Amino acid sequence: AKNIIKAKKLGRPKQIFSLDRRQKLLHPGKSLYRVLLDSVTLSDESVKFQIIHEKNKILLQVEIYEIEGNIFRLKIDEASPLRPRYKVPDVLIKEPTTQRLFISHREAGILVLSSVNEDYKLQITANPFQVELQSKGETPYVAKKKTKKNPNQYKSHEKQEDLGLWQEKFGSFLDIKAHGPTSVGVDFSLHGYDHVYGIPQRTETLLLKNTSDGDAYRLYNLDIFGHKIHDKIGIYGSVPLLLAHKPSRTSGIFWLNSSETLVDISTKAVAEHTPSRSAAEIAKQRAVPLTDVRWMSESGIIDVFLLMGPTAFDIFKQFAQLTGTQALPPLFSLGYHQCRWNYEDEQDVKAVDAGFDAHDIPYDVIWLDIEHTDGKRYFTWDKQKFQNPRKMQEHLKKKKRKLVVIVDPHIKVDPSYTLYAQAKEKGYFVKDRNGKDFEGICWPGSSCYLDFTNPEVRKWYADQFAFKTYKASTNILFVWNDMNEPSVFKEAELTMQKDAVHYNNWEHREVHNLYGFYQQMATAEGLIRRSSGKERPFVLARSFFAGSQKYGAVWTGDNTAEWSYLQISIPMLLTINMTGISFCGADVGGFIGDPEPELLVRWYQAGAYQPFFRGHSNMESKRREPWLFGEKNTQLIRRAIRERYVLLPYLYTLFYRAHAAAEPVMRALWIEFPGEVETFDVENEYMLGNALLVHPVTEKEAKTVTVLFPGSEEIWYDFRKFKRMEDAGTVKIPVTLENIPVFQRGGTVIPLKTTAGKSTEWMIDISYELHVALDKEACAIGELYVDDGHSFQYLHKKQFLYRKFTFHKNVLSSRSEDSYSTAFLCVLGRFDFYLFFNQSFPPVAGTVRAKSCRESQVVFTYDTKTSALTLENLALSVDADWEICIS
């Protein structure tokens, strides 16, 4: 394994584009397509018509749909294909509900369609073909059909081989394009926008850059060990969703295509498009931004969704309406995870587990990498190092902790290996272009790759997680899908050949970016099925696509133990969050190399306030359990992890909101403050939910950090000291190594636990506290979501509590937010609350009123320096309505 790592380090491939090069040679300008207006047909579902290429006379079929919820869909396919093109299945949660479009205007060369409520108009220009989408007079989108290559158009190879139309060589690697060139592309013009975001995954800035003078952004899932920073090359995952934002509106483009995709971005200033009557008025027209976005994919059809917003939160809901919301994770998975490649044996696992208790550091999950298996055969155990894995799991279960093991998609070629033999017999492996099982090199050596695009293979794979099949597995064992880009050593770009063949005879080039998506889908289904549908799964996957949020968590991959990787992890996670996947994180400390103690401490402090919190390291790195860096650093790491556990009620509530309402857990500032232009490119701080502003310290030996407090009308409070921040705007904040700056937004209520436990299960009976931070109107609101933390009872039987806290006119009240929620007192019991107010005057008395108890006086303390009011030992029930009146 070490030798392979070294080879990967030395052999990191240069960026390779096998996408039809003619696409990239095209320049913006007049389209060669013309609408055949006499082909227009309207139905209740769509508007359809044909367009023709003026030179080669190829006909294409265009379909336009209006979808409920301010979404438009544009589909373009060949009218009479000799071979059908790939249409991405399984990503959309259902076929969208459409609304009828009407023809509202028709003249020579122009057709205008109106939506039912007449909020939107689509102007279709016949020659050249162009679709302009107008929203109440505003034109956020113009779509221009640039090119689409007919796969059977070229019968001669003369002068075409230089463009790689039928085959292409990358060094010693040959890609046979049996069906010829099949690329597609569309240009979009975004009027009034010069800030665009999204299209993860890469180690890049939050704000997407102008690519007119360099490489395009690439969406192509790759295993890139030690990926470079500020590189547009795609790495492990791809979500083809781009967001454009300006103070008055947010819009989105979702490009549903799973082949290799390039995105070119060009922003410029143009004259404002307004009717003018004189040359003088034309001269006075102001310049406005215009961003052109070109999408180019190697194959498939054009299937694009225009998300009309108009707010960022509307975009998130619209995207979730199409691809689903974040799965509600089991509570334990929001705790701290301890991982390493590799914990050596059962004794090592027990020793690390005991170390956390000995040093009073909470954790929930310990992880096992590939070395725990019998010769890299997944679903097995090394017979010498893990002689009794069930007993090891029983030991962890008694400690109320969990185990995660790695299960990769490549299967060792070994006829005596049951999994391989069964898959071989059933024909479940991806084939090469000659019809034989595709074989590549990965961790076990010679390996075959399961074809997860086949529903039958996914069902069979899910069955492998059954307790009777996966020997010595228990209900505390969960799964890590790694290497599922898929990673194939000794191949071009360390991935599968594009001419490999999948289910239904589709080439790998068509489905590449879906491969990991499908493995995570099958794994999650397997974990659900093993519990007869009762328990929530936890699956971490390295490769992902749009819709992966439905199946679990992702992470940013093989990062490096350097300060720059801590810095870039923030925009990387913000970008993934805004494209639907809230459950994401970066390996704390950096996977590759050895972090200096200060860097490790700062990374723990950052990770504690991010969605997925895992410490992980490479087998060549030194051991880095939290207590190995001296007592002072152990104390600091312990404090950071304990802060995470105290924060869990708020974090779990945010995940419920992500699941129920598609609200991202971790948010770029501009999402919460859409009208504040100064927030649009901020990537070193972020909002955790709507209430917490987090600014990780990402520079060595920092003595201050510069914090932007957005919102001219906002009040901000130091989250730990309950002290109001007097300065607004951009402020230098002193920092020490003790912690990172975290601030609570005025007008919010944050639920917390009063202390941390050994793991999340140890904390069920720990009481809650509320931090109530008042806004300028002396008001605040917040929520608390609670369920059993592991089952689907919240969904099937509405067994959960969803409380809304309101402070208004000196009364703090708790009310049920959902009339369907069912109490489960056997789990919750009764709790005390600690309440922190920020008042400008000292209160003199307080009373509490609650159902099932008489009105009683409240004991409180008041800090005149911070204006913080503390009420203790209230003995209020979480599931009861109550009021606390301050006078």
Q: How many domains does the chain have?
A: 3
- Tell which of 479, 509, 529 closes a domain: 529
Angle at 825 between CA 821 and CA 827, to 5 degrees: 100
Assess if residue 802 is contained within a domain.
yes
Q: Is residue 337 part of a domain?
A: no
Question: What is the identity of the amino acid at 187?
Answer: D
Identify the pLDDT of residue 811.
92
User: Does 313 share its domain with 461?
Assistant: no
- Spatial neighbors of 283 by CB under 8 A, at least 6 apart, are none
Pairing of strands 553-555, 539-541: parallel
- Structural tokens at position 474: 């228990």
Residue 376: which region, alpha, beta or left (left: phi > 0; alpha: psi -120 to 50)? Answer: left
Q: What is the CATH number of the domain that holds 786?
A: 2.60.40.1180
Name 431's bridge partners: 437, 501
pLDDT in tens, 247-305: 999 999 999 999 999 999 999 988 876 544 455 565 567 789 999 999 999 999 999 99
Q: Could you give the CA distance from residue 507 to residue 751 in angstroms, rounded to a whole number?
A: 51
Taking the alpha carbons at both ends of the chain, their separation in whole angstroms is 68
pTM: 0.94
Cβ atoms 836, 869 nearer than 8 A: yes
d(CA 847, CA 882) in angstroms, rounded, equals 11
For residues 727 and 825, state if they share a domain.
yes
Residue 534 domain-assigned? no
Q: Distance between CA atoms of 427 and 13, rounded to whole angstroms? A: 32
Query: 412 and 296 in one domain?
Result: no
* pLDDT computed for residue 8 by the predictor: 36
Q: Which residues are catalytic?
A: 482, 485, 558
Helical ranges in 219-302 per DSSP H = 279-283
* Of 511, 529, 547, the domain-final residue: 529
Q: How many CB atoms lie within 10 A of CB 845?
A: 10
Q: Are residues 288 and 140 in the same domain?
A: yes
- Residue that terminates a domain, selected from 298, 323, 348: 323
Residue 668, burial from CB neighbour count under 10 angstroms (0-12, 13-18, 19+): buried
> Residue 116 domain-assigned?
yes
Distances (CA, A) of 628 to 74, 154, 508, 597, 625: 56, 64, 45, 10, 6
Contacts for 478 with CB less than 8 Å, ≥ 6 apart: 333, 365, 402, 403, 404, 405, 527, 537, 538, 539
Burial group, residue 839, by CB count within 10 angstroms (0-12, 13-18, 19+):
middle
| CATH code for the domain in which residue 77 is found | 2.60.40.1760
Q: Give me the torsion for CA of 688, 694, 700, 702, rounded to 10°.
A: 180
DSSP E strands, 547-624: 553-555, 584-585, 613-615
d(CA 598, CA 286): 50
- Provide the Cα torsion 208, 211, 213, 218; round to 10°: 120
Residue 658: inside a domain? no
**C-alpha 505, offset from chain centre:** 30
Chain centre to alpha carbon of residue 157: 43
Low-confidence spans in the chain with pLDDT less than 70 = 1-29, 137, 146-164, 273-284, 819-846, 848-854
Residue ranges with strand state E in 324-437: 336-338, 365-368, 402-406, 410-412
The rounded distance, in Å, linking the Cα atoms of 586 and 607 is 8
Domain assignment of residue 790, yes or no = yes
Place of tokens 């899910």: 462
Task: Please report the DSSP string for 631-675 in residue order.
Answer: HHHHHHHHHHHHHHHHHHHHHHHHHHHHHHH---SEE-HHHH-TT
Q: Are residues 280 and 425 in the same domain?
A: no
Range of the domain at 517: 407-529
330 within domain boundaries = no
- CA dist 626 and 604 (Å) reads 9
Assigned domain for 356 exists: no
| 3-state class (DSSP) for residue 202 | coil
